[in-house]
Every structure is written in structure tokens, then in C-alpha cells.
Amino acid sequence: MSEEKHRYTTSLAWEGQRRGRLSSEGLPALAVATPPEFPGGHPGIWSPEHLFVAAAEACLMTTFLAIAENSKLEYLEYSSEAEGTVEKTDQGYLVTEITIRPRVVVKEASALERARRVVEKAEQRCLISNSMKTRVSLSPTIVVGA
């Protein structure tokens, strides 16, 4: 088996107070800051906590899309919502849990169980959530749409 590695680089520049600009070559820059729940935090700006939750959520979607394509699952829509819980622990503040609520719309009732299996496979194979020590759980909804 060949060894396969991919590298992803980012750059961060402090912009004053508790804010910065996150960038990566070829991607749009993002303003990042301490969330408003913490001292000196800023509302309306992406926080590391948001990005952590979003990474797990986006990975689940992209993994679902790849598995659905490979298994020729026909679906009409995919969307999700995610919630991360930050708690103060003996080790300090930690994201202790992320719940992702994917919603998949399929054309026919005969595809419901197959779509559920694809979501389960995506959960098992998501490299971001598999790399986290945070517990990541799913609460999927699979429905038939027109």
C-alpha cells in the first residue's frame, strides 16, 4: 500500500484586540476572533469554536457526497445543522460534544434505508471527526421529497 499524505497550510495575522485574519493560498480570507461568550470576545466573527464544529460538519457532508456518488445513491437535497458544546473541565475549556443533524431528501421511499446506511458510513469514515477527541454524534433525518 502506498503512503499518501496531503498537507494543508494556513496563515493567521493578528489585527488587534482579540481578532485576526485567517488565510490560505487560493482561498478567501476569514476574520476570526474570540467568541463573545469569553472576555474580550467579538460577536459576528467566526471563532475557533465555530470553525471546529464546522470542520466536523463539512467533513460529514463531503464524506456523504463521496460515498453517495460511489454507491450511486440518488438524493435531492443534503443539508445539516451542527451544535458544539464547550464545557469547563479539569483540563480547562474543551469542546466536549458535537451533534450533527444531517437531513437527506431522497426521491423514493425505497431509497430511505440505503440513504441511512450512506450517512452511517459517512459518520464512520469522516477523517475530521475521527481525528478529534471530542465525541461526535449524529441525529439524521432521511425523508422522501418530490
Walk along the chain (146 residues) in steps of 10 and give the mean pLDDT of each run.
86 97 97 96 97 98 98 96 96 96 96 97 96 92 89
Which pLDDT score is estimated for 1?
54
Cell 450517512 identifies what position?
Answer: 119
The 10s digit of each residue's pLDDT in 87-120 is: 999 999 999 999 999 999 999 999 999 999 999 9
CB 129 within 8 Å of CB 122? no
- SS3 for the chain is CCCCCCCCCCEEEEEECCEEEEECCCCCCEEEECCCCCCCCCCCCECHHHHHHHHHHHHHHHHHHHHHHHCCCCEEEEEEEEEEEEEEECCEEEEEEEEEEEEEEECCHHHHHHHHHHHHHHHHHCHHHHHCCCEEEECCEEEECC
Read off the amino acid at residue 46: W
- First-residue to last-residue Cα distance in the chain: 44
Q: pTM value? A: 0.91
